[in-house]
Amino acid sequence: MKVVVVDTINGLVNMDDLQAKAEKYSNDIAALMITFPSTTGIYESTIREMIDTIHHHGGQVYMDGANMNAQVGYTSPSYLGADVCHLNLHKTFAIPHGGGGPGMGPIGVKKHLIPHLPTHPLSS
């Protein structure tokens, strides 16, 4: 597996570069990982185009929900088309973070990924 970094322009994903790399690696794309809005607080206006591009080439989209509070009332990972999204509740509920602490965070997935979720270790 190889990680391919997509260029940016002023902190935004360069769509021309994303599309060129999606085409180049079309047979090998596993996923796009993106934080939305970005860590710099920018809403990518082309987020749905990015997701559609990756899906067109057979990849999945993993959304980092680190800044999920900024999506509330504006949009949602499901609406945007993300396949997986995790939420870091330490920001919302002041839960300790990192270092193996008691951290927690739900992971939301589209229906096609439900069979791949872990189950409770004591369930049959």
Query: Angle of helix 47-56 relative to helix 15-24, nearest 10 degrees?
Result: 10
Question: Over the stretch 31-74, which tens digit does the pLDDT of each residue have?
Answer: 999 999 988 888 999 999 999 999 999 999 999 988 888 888 89
Residue ranges per domain, the chain?
8-116
Cβ atoms within 10 Å, residue 57:
18
74-98 average pLDDT score: 82
How distant is the alpha carbon of residue 50 from its chain centre? 11
Q: Which residues lie across from 65 on neighbouring strands? A: 87
Question: What CATH class does 8-116 carry?
Answer: alpha beta
Task: Give pTM, 2 decimals.
Answer: 0.84
9 to 23, 44, 58, 75: CA distances (angstroms): 20, 11, 25, 24
* pLDDT tens, position by position, 103-114: 567 889 999 999
Amino acid at site 115: P
